[in-house]
Chain A
Amino acid sequence: MTLTGNQLPPPRRLRPWSGLERRLRDVGISGRTLVIAAPAIWLTVFFLVPLFVVFGISLATKQFGRPPYSPLLTTEGGTVQLTLHLSNYLKLFTDPLYVAAYLSSIRIALIATVITLFIGYPMAYAIARAPDKWRNILLMLVILPFWTSFLLRVYALSGFMRGNGVINQILAVFGIEPLVMMQTNFAVYVGIVYTYLPFMILPLYTTLVKLDTSLLEASADLGSRPWQTFLSVTLPLSLPGIIAGSMLVFIPAIGEFVIPSLLGGPETLMIGRVLWDEFFGATNWPRAAAVAVAMLVVVVIPILLLQKAQDAVVEKGK
């Protein structure tokens, strides 16, 4: 008996998914539905629903027991009763602590973003103009801290700035009195700039590296001084990078918790820390939820404004 080519089974690689595909088709689920449904269901259950839960619980009040908040729905004699409390929101507007915390968070985030921009811009520009073989190494040096632990970088900074830290020891060599840097707002600014600098540099770099150098040469040929060229050509063209980088620093900085709690002092008022203390310290979950809802509003408004500004820039670029 001879085997002809036809009788040999075709060489098959193991394809475990072909069985899965057939079985799904039998139940009437197409691959397309599955691809969309799996992430959509996950995000609905674990991202959208929790936000509604936060809003719901912000309308409850604190009570002792488990869970430590009053139920919104109660059944009494067959009727379902919905009890909503606005007291948490009233408190947010009447207690000067909360208003001050929101304002101070925005101020700290804004000032830190501007400082980050001023430090990050020349660095991004230097990397974009560096010779090819240097550019990748410099970029790697910017990205490297981003992969190392945020918490440990804040810790490294605190070792640098504390009373007997490296800076004060260097100052002591020159006979200068030690500076008090830790537990101040100054330390919080340094902390935000230090940890968020890569987020500013990378988008700036991407716009600056694409900059057409012939425009700069044209401007110089027409008699502009370098700073005039910078202000009238480079700066406007890098505006999308400035906006993107500022957004990436400003928005997370508003809700920052680790930096104010490790580097800041008692006078450092930031809303992320207030929420944390409300939850873990006072165990007032409904109040913490109300703080979160208000914070979401504070974070979403600048996102929408910046998005609009960015769209306008893109529109103009066309």
Chain B
Amino acid sequence: MRRGLFLPIAATLGFAFLYLPIISLVVFSFNESDLVTVWSGFSTKWYGKLFADEQMLGAAWLSLRIAFFSATFALVLGTLCAVALVRFKRFRGRTVLAGTVSAPLVMPDVITGLAMLLLFVGMESVLGWPAGRGIVTIIIAHTTFCMAYITVVVQSRLSDLDLSLEEAAMDLGATPFRVFFDITLPIIAPALVSGWLLGFTLSLDDLVIASFVSGPGSSTLPMVIFSKIKLGVSPDVNALATIIIGVVALGVVAATIIGLRSSSKVKRA
């Protein structure tokens, strides 16, 4: 059967296309030579150089802090938004809220970045806040677009949720606050964890929006990487990429294994 062969071959080629560039990037991070493409022997010197690079380390620390706060704020706001959209069927401006929260998903980064910057400049001249731009303005901008993704993740979990548990708690006299914190929150916890991780990754990854709203002395990691690779290849970026890819791969593999275990438990039960 010809179709029997076509699909596996197409899939193999497709996965090769996805993974060969990444594999070559990882391999050349262990290259002795500073030519990123010619192999001249195994070395870990680029990792040493990376950890001695003050600018890169500073940018990485800044980006991690921004990602932590942005993901956390976005998680709170995104969860509230998801609860409002799923649980409260009727309120004024529901359609506007639903549209506005998903709009950042399709908004080109250059527009979001420019719009945020013009807002901050305008606010500064009218209100005197935020004075200048830096970590605070980046966190505000990242919170806004991460919130959109987190709302989608939490919304889909909430709409699958069995309402009878919440109703039972209400019947037993629990206040809405208590129902939310004691029943709803523990059940949607997995969605909250993956939403937070998604927000953290998106914030850590953003180049365009951060470039618009950052100020002098607040260059994030993607901004430093971008200016480095704009000038040409640099093996220490390969080393950094290898570390990031390694951490992400471990995380995704672990999450998949945990997911498989729990789903097979459910099947057995």
B120's nearest neighbour on chain A, judged by CB, is A50
Q: Is the CB of A31 within 8 A of B118?
A: no
Q: Are A15 and B178 in contact (CB under 8 A)?
A: yes
Q: For B177, list chain A residues within 8 Å (CB).
A: 17-18, 20-21, 31
Chain B residues 28-77 with CB under 8 Å of chain A are: 28, 35-38, 76-77
**Is B114 at the interface (CB under 8 A from chain A)?**
yes
Convert A295-307 into 0s and 1s, putting 1 for each residue whose CB lies closer than 8 angstroms to a CB of B: 1100100010000
Asked whether B241 lies within 8 Å of A155 as measured between CB atoms, the reply is yes
| Contact (A288, B114) CB under 8 Å given A141-B15, A162-B233 | yes
Query: Does A100 have its Cβ within 8 Å of any Cβ on chain B?
Result: no
Q: Considering only CB atoms, which chain A residue lies closest to B252 in the complex? A: A144
A308 and B64 CA atoms in complex are apart in Å by: 40
Q: Is the CB of B93 within 8 A of A40?
A: yes
Instruction: Answer whether A153 and B108 are a contact pair too, CB < 8 Å, given A42-B147, A46-B144.
Output: no
Measured CA separation A166–B39 after assembly (Å): 11
A32 at the interface (CB under 8 A from B): yes
> What are the residues of chain B within 8 A of A140 when measuring CB–CB?
252-253, 256
The number of residues on chain B lying at the interface, defined by a beta carbon within 8 Å of a beta carbon of chain A, is 91
A35 touches B80 (CB 8 A): yes
A61 to B97, CA, bound (A): 33
Name the residue of chain A whose CB is nearest to the CB of B222. Answer: A151
Are A122 and B114 neighbours in the complex by a CB distance under 8 Å? Answer: no
B125 at the interface (CB under 8 A from A): yes
Q: Is A126 an interface residue (CB 8 A)?
A: yes
Distance of A222 Cα from B153 Cα, bound (Å)? 43
Docked Cα-Cα span, A149 to B63, in Å, equals 13
A149-B244 in contact (CB<8A): yes
Among A127, A155, A279, the residue within 8 A (CB) of B11 is: A127
Q: Which residues of A contact B164 (CB under 8 A)?
A: none
Does the CB pair A46–B116 fall under 8 Å?
yes
Which of A155, A275, A303 has the largest count of B CB atoms less than 10 A from its CB?
A: A155
**Which residues of chain A have C-beta atoms less than 8 A from B115's C-beta?**
50-51, 53-54, 292
In B181-216, the 8 Å CB interface with A consists of 181, 201, 204-205, 207-208, 211-212
A129 contacts partner chain B, Cβ-Cβ < 8 Å: yes
A39 adjacent to B147 (CB under 8 Å): yes
- For window 105-147 of A, CB contacts with B under 8 Å fall at 119-120, 122-123, 125-127, 129, 136-138, 140-145, 147
Contact in complex: B110, A275 (CB < 8 Å) = yes
- Do A39 and B80 have beta carbons less than 8 Å apart? yes
Q: B22 to A262, Cβ gap below 8 A?
A: no
Q: A148-B245, A149-B241 are in contact. Are A53 and B122 (CB under 8 A)?
A: yes
The reply to whether B36 and A159 contact each other, CB–CB distance below 8 Å, is yes
B21's contact among A39, A67, A138, A159, by CB below 8 Å, is which? Answer: A159
| CA A122 to CA B6, docked complex, whole Å | 8
Residue of A nearest to B230 (CB): A262
Contact B103 A164 (CB under 8 A): no
- Say how far A298's CB is from chain B's closest CB, in angstroms: 10
Nearest A residue (CB) for B38: A164
Please give, as numbers and ranges, the residues of chain B lying within 8 Å of A42 by CB-CB distance: 77, 143-144, 147
Which chain A positions have C-beta within 8 A of B38?
A: 164
- Nearest-neighbour CB distance to chain B for A151, whole angstroms, equals 5
- Pick the contact of B7 from A31, A129, A162 — CB < 8 Å? A129
Closest Cβ neighbor of A152 among chain B residues: B241
Q: Once bound together, how far apart are the Cα atoms of A141 and B252, in whole Å?
A: 9
Alpha-carbon distance A46/B109, docked complex (angstroms): 14
Contacts known (A38-B77, A151-B226); A17 close to B181, Cβ less than 8 A: yes
Residue among A18, A127, A149, A160 with most chain B CB within 10 A: A149
* Across-interface contacts of A48 in B (CB, < 8 A): 100
* Whole-angstrom CA separation of A137 from B11 in the bound complex: 13
Interface string of A258-283 (1 = CB under 8 A from B): 10011000000000100110011000
Which B residues fall within an 8 A CB radius of A? Answer: 1-3, 6-8, 10-11, 14-15, 17-22, 24-25, 28, 35-38, 76-78, 80-81, 83-84, 88, 91, 93, 97, 100-101, 103-104, 106-111, 114-116, 118-119, 121-122, 125, 140-141, 143-144, 147, 151, 175-178, 180-181, 201, 204-205, 207-208, 211-212, 222, 225-226, 229-230, 233, 237-238, 240-241, 244-245, 248-249, 251-253, 256, 259-260
Q: Write the residues of chain A forming the contact surface with B, with a CB cutoff of 8 angstroms.
A: 15, 17-18, 20-21, 31-32, 34-36, 38-40, 42-44, 46-51, 53-54, 57, 67, 119-120, 122-123, 125-127, 129, 136-138, 140-145, 147-153, 155-160, 162, 164-166, 169, 194, 197, 226-227, 251-252, 254-258, 261-262, 272, 275-276, 279-280, 285, 288-289, 292, 295-296, 299, 303
